[in-house]
C-alpha cells in the first residue's frame, strides 16, 4: 500500500480545516507538515501553534518535516504538540544518532531527510535505527518545483539496501510529484509519497489524491 501524504504547505491557510476534510475524504492516513526556519532553507512556514490547532481538528497521523538548523531544541516541542512522525535533515544534524533516539524516546517515529545531492552513504550507519528515510526530490524550501529525476536511482538503491540488511524502515519521497510521475516513483520503490501543489492546486484535492494513489498502485502491480 502506497501512502499519499498531502503537504499542507500548498494548502490555503485560511481554509486549512476545510482542505484537510477534503483529503481525509480521499482516505489519506497522514498529513505532511513542513517547518522552515529561514536559515536552513530560505523560507519561513509555520510552527508549533499551528500544529497544536491541527492536532485538535484531525485524527490523521501528522508527519513533521523539520527544515531547521536547531532540530534538537524544537523536535520535542513538535512531538508534544502532536506530531506522530518527525524527520530531521542529515545536513543539519551533527549528532544524528542522538537526535533520532531523542525523537523516538519522546514518543514519535523518527525519520532522516536527505537533500537531492546528499549521498545515501551519509545515513548508512543509522539505517537500523530509523523509522523512515525521506529522500528530497527537490531542493527544500518551496513547493511547486520540478522533480529531480536522479533521485529515483537513490530510491532504488535504498530499497535494495533495506532488503539486503533485512530492515523495515519506510521510504518517503518529497517534491515535484504529480499524477504524471507518481508511477515512476512508485515503481522505484517508495512507500510514502508527499504531494503538495498537485493535491491542493487541483480543482478537487480528494480526486487528485485518489488519482495519484491509483496511478501509484497500478505501477506497483506492473512491477510485481
Ligand atoms: O518540503 C517541501 C518543500 O521544501 C515539500 O513538502 C513541498 O511542500 C512539496 O510540494 P510540491 O513539490 O509537491 O508542490
Ligand 1 atom nearest to CA at 147: 12
Determine if residue 174 is labeled as part of a ligand binding site.
yes
Would you state the pLDDT for residue 1?
A: 87
State the ipTM, two decimals: 0.97
| Separation of alpha carbons 141 and 13, rounded Å | 17
Show which residues are catalytic: 34, 174
Q: Which superfamily does CATH assign the domain made up of 3-223 to?
A: Aldolase class I (3.20.20.70)
Would you state the pLDDT for residue 61?
A: 98
pLDDT (tens place) for every residue of the chain, 224 residues total: 899 999 999 999 999 999 999 999 999 999 999 999 999 999 999 999 999 999 999 999 999 999 999 999 999 999 999 999 999 999 999 999 999 999 999 999 999 999 999 999 999 999 999 999 999 999 999 999 999 999 999 999 999 999 999 999 999 999 999 999 999 999 999 999 999 999 999 999 999 999 999 999 999 998 77
Lining residues, ligand 1, CB within 6 Å: 7, 9-10, 32, 34, 65, 138, 140-145, 174-177, 194-198
Return the best residue to mutate from 6, 7, 36, 173 for the ligand 1 pocket (most ligand atoms within 8 A of CB). 7
Domain extents for the chain? Answer: 3-223
Q: What is the DSSP letter of 20?
A: H
Strand intervals (E) in the chain: 3-6, 30-36, 61-67, 85-89, 109-114, 132-136, 170-174, 192-195
Q: Which long-range contacts (CB under 8 A, 24 or more apart) does 45-53 make?
A: 45/9, 46/13, 48/74, 48/77, 48/78, 48/81, 51/78, 51/81, 51/82, 51/83, 52/81, 52/82
Would you state the pLDDT for residue 178?
A: 98
Amino acid at each position: 500500500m502506497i501512502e499519499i501524504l498531502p503537504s499542507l504547505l500548498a494548502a490555503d491557510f485560511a481554509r486549512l480545516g476545510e482542505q484537510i476534510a477534503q483529503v481525509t475524504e480521499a482516505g489519506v492516513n497522514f498529513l505532511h507538515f513542513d517547518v522552515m526556519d529561514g536559515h536552513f532553507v530560505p523560507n519561513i512556514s509555520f510552527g508549533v501553534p499551528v500544529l497544536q490547532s491541527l492536532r485538535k481538528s484531525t485524527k490523521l497521523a501528522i508527519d513533521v518535516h523539520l527544515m531547521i538548523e536547531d532540530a534538537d531544541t524544537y523536535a520535542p516541542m513538535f512531538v508534544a504538540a502532536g506530531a506522530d512522525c518527525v524527520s530531521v535533515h542529515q545536513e543539519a544534524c551533527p549528532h544524528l544518532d542522538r537526535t533520532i533516539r531523542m525523537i523516538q524516546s519522546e514518543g514519535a517515529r523518527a525519520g532522516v531527510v536527505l537533500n537531492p545531492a546528499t549521498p545515501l552513504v551519509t545515513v548508512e550507519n543509522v539505517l537500523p535505527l530509523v523509522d523512515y528515510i525521506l529522500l528530497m526530490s527537490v531542493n527544500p524550501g518551496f513547493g511547486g518545483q520540478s522533480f529531480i529525476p536522479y533521485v529515483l536511482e537513490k530510491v532504488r538503491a535504498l530499497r535494495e539496501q533495506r532488503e539486503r540488511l533485512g530492515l523495515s524502515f519506510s521510504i518517503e519521497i518529497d517534491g515535484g510529484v504529480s499524477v504524471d510521475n507518481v508511477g515512476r516513483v512508485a515503481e522505484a520503490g517508495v512507500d510514502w509519497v508527499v504531494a503538495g501543489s498537485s493535491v491542493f492546486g487541483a480543482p478537487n484535492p480528494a480526486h487528485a489524491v485518489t488519482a495519484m494513489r491509483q496511478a501509484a498502485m497500478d505501477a506497483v502491480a506492473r512491477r510485481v
